[in-house]
Each structure stands twice: as C-alpha cells, then as structure tokens.
Amino acid sequence: MAVGMLLMIPGMAQQQYDQINEKVFGTSDWGAADAPEGLLVHSAGPAEGGWYAYDIWESREHFERFANERLMQAVGEVAGGVPQGVEPQFFEVANLVLSGTS
C-alpha cells in the first residue's frame, strides 16, 4: 500500500536542501531517472520557519531504506542531522491520481 510521508524541518532553507540533493544524487536538480527505488512522487519547498518534503512511496519500508542508506548521512553532513524531535509523519494513500503533467 502506498504511503505519504511528510517531513517538516524547522530552520532549513533551500540552500541546505540543494546541498543535500547534491550529496545524495550528485546534483541539486535531480529528476525521475535519479529517483530511489519505491519513490512515486516527491515535492519540497519552503514552509513557515523552515522546509518541508512531502513524498509518496510504494511503502514505508522503501522510504526507510532510502533514509537509512542515503538520506540521513547527507542530512548529517549538511545540517548536522535532523533536529531532535523531527520525525516523518506517514499517511495511508487511499487514492493516487497522476495527471501526467509536470
């Protein structure tokens, strides 16, 4: 079952997000060809007081594998780690419609 994953990171800015992407994907402007296994949709942007990432994954396990194997090391190098108490929130996806537009 697909899951939505929301991560809100207080104090993070686009520059740090881009640096994390550089470390994980080798570019800050990554796309579908670079997507980790199990990622269906990725979005990210500024939020009040920080930065958000909202993804849809094939399963929670796919996200956790990506986070443990690639993402958390990059976050640690760029931002000194995810601030204490910041945890991803997971949501069951009951309906997913992709329009085919970018």
User: Is 61 domain-assigned?
Assistant: yes
User: Is 84 domain-assigned?
Assistant: yes
C-alpha 101/C-alpha 71 separation (Å) is: 27
DSSP assignment string, 46-75 = EETTEEEEEEEES-HHHHHHHIIIIIHHHH
The tokens for 20 are: 């994390």
pTM for the model stands at 0.90
**pLDDT > 80? residue 61:** yes
Count of domains for the chain? 1
The mean per-residue pLDDT over the stretch 63-85 comes to 90
What is the domain-level CATH number for residue 44? 3.30.70.100
Q: Which domain holds residue 28?
A: 3-92
CA distances (Å), origin 56, targets 15, 49, 76, 83: 23, 23, 23, 22
User: Residue 67's pLDDT band (boundaries 50, 70, 90)?
Assistant: very high
User: Is 86 domain-assigned?
Assistant: yes
User: Is 50 domain-assigned?
Assistant: yes
Which range of 7-11, 42-46, 74-78, 81-85 scores highest in mean pLDDT? It is: 42-46
User: Is 75 domain-assigned?
Assistant: yes
User: Is 34 domain-assigned?
Assistant: yes
- For 78, the enclosing helix (H) or strand (E) is helix 72-79
Q: What is the pLDDT of residues 10-49, one digit of tens each?
A: 999 999 999 999 999 999 999 999 999 999 999 999 999 9
User: Is 101 domain-assigned?
Assistant: no
User: Is 97 domain-assigned?
Assistant: no
